[in-house]
Amino acid sequence: MQKSKGITNAKGITGCRFSLSVMSDNYAAMILDAIGRVNTRHVWCATDALSTVYRGTRPHVVEGVRAVFTAVNDGKTHITLDATFSSGCPNDQAADYVGTDTTPVMGDYGASFPVIGKIAFYPLGAADYMEHISAVAQMAEAFHVNMKASHYATELAGDVNNIFAYFNHVLAYAEENITHYVLHAMLSVNSPGLKRSESHVELI
Amino acid sequence: MQKSKGITNAKGITGCRFSLSVMSDNYAAMILDAIGRVNTRHVWCATDALSTVYRGTRPHVVEGVRAVFTAVNDGKTHITLDATFSSGCPNDQAADYVGTDTTPVMGDYGASFPVIGKIAFYPLGAADYMEHISAVAQMAEAFHVNMKASHYATELAGDVNNIFAYFNHVLAYAEENITHYVLHAMLSVNSPGLKRSESHVELI
């Protein structure tokens, strides 16, 4: 969709810290397999006991996380992705990233499948942060992503590829307009869904 | 630890949107059982397909989330809790909460177990947000919670009860000093841990 830009300092680095949760006895093998199958030559990677961090140019990072989420989805197991995209932290340094690259990404979308989720967008240090949050919510419609306001997050639903294209667009907007920002997303596939949700409510 | 205060408007309401991920074929029953066993008479509750929301006074909300996380832990299954605590959103309304209550909470801690996790603190609309983030990180030591700076989050480790007491303290500080804020936490129990993490790194 867009070519990556040259990185001259940490401000050109977008990162994502993400965790996959696989609701299956076989979770470890499924996660390792998915991560192993994703081409990550354009992003810097590190994993701790809780999550994996990708750092690089925005389109490569977004595409990498999309690819991992697509790779882990076997079409039946309930899986969630918790992802924190961010850029512009004043304490960030121009380290832990892979050099510039101009390979177009986000062109080959791979598998399509329906996803539900939630997002929260946090512009930091900005007095007009509510306006940016509102602008970001309004961008979803053009990507065919359905949004619903809720407490402490905006719920969303749509095709996985549309959702990641929307995330890339939100982060491009943030790059242009906000010094330091965080996009927190949780995505879910193969959820037992509303039926289970209703029994939750009854139990509470 | 502290008595809850009377709520006169939405600013007195603390909320938490949380999701449990249980890495087991038996995840649905384990989650339903845990949620059913927690006493939530002092918080407003709602569940959608992805997460549960508690709203009420700060100590009751923190204690409720701690109790759910403790209730779901069977001492062997890998489980994560993703929790977004927040208060002060300009769009929030004085609705969807349970009335004032002065019952002391957070006195009976129940089970103790080791937890690893990560947190990120987002003060919104504040030019001096980095100072608040730094202040919050420095509070951990007094609660015997170990912290380690990382990309896009601060890693933490400690006893589950110390960690939630720390969260309550952070949110009390935020109530006093910041108009609108979000504390995002992910906690993990019974993780295969570093060994699995190392093989992640090799695979990447």
Find where tokens 């690089």 sit: A56
In 3D space, the residue among A166, A189, A177 whose CA is nearest the CA of residue A30 turns out to be: A189
Q: In this structure, what token pair is assigned to residue A69?
A: 């989420």
User: What tens digit of pLDDT does each residue of A117-155 get?
Assistant: 999 999 999 999 999 999 999 999 999 999 999 999 999
Q: Is the distance from CB of A82 to CB of B117 less than 8 angstroms? A: no
CA atoms in the 13 A half-sphere facing the CB of A89: 24
**pLDDT, chain A, mean:** 85
Q: Mind telling me how many Å the CA of A2 is from chain B's nearest CA? A: 24
Task: Tell me which of A7-11, A122-126, B166-170 is least confident.
Answer: A7-11
In 3D space, the residue among B6, B21, B129 whose CA is nearest the CA of residue B56 turns out to be: B6
Q: Provide the pLDDT for residue B99.
A: 63
Residue numbers in A near B200 (CB within 8 A): 31-32, 35, 47, 52
Nearest to A199 among B32, B40, B188 (CB): B32
Q: Is the distance from CB of B113 to CB of B71 less than 8 angstroms? A: no
CB of A125 within 8 Å of a chain B CB? The answer is: yes
Nearest to B124 among A19, A118, A129 (CB): A129
Does residue B163 carry a pLDDT above 70?
Answer: yes
User: What tens digit of pLDDT does each residue of A45-82 get?
Assistant: 998 888 999 999 999 999 999 999 999 999 999 999 99
Does residue A184 carry a pLDDT above 70?
Answer: yes
Q: Which residue of B has its CA nearest to A68?
A: B204
Q: How far is it, in rounded angstroms, from Cα B153 to Cα B164?
A: 17
Query: Which A residues, 142 through 181, put their C-beta within 8 Å of a C-beta on chain B?
Result: 150-153, 155
Find where tokens 């925005």 sit: A58
Q: How many residues does chain A have?
A: 204
Q: How far is it, in rounded angstroms, from Cα B133 to Cα A40?
A: 31
Phi, psi angle pair for A107, to nearest 5°: -95, -40
Q: Mind telling me how many Å the CA of A49 is from chain B's nearest CA? A: 5
CB of A8 within 8 Å of a chain B CB? The answer is: no
ipTM: 0.87
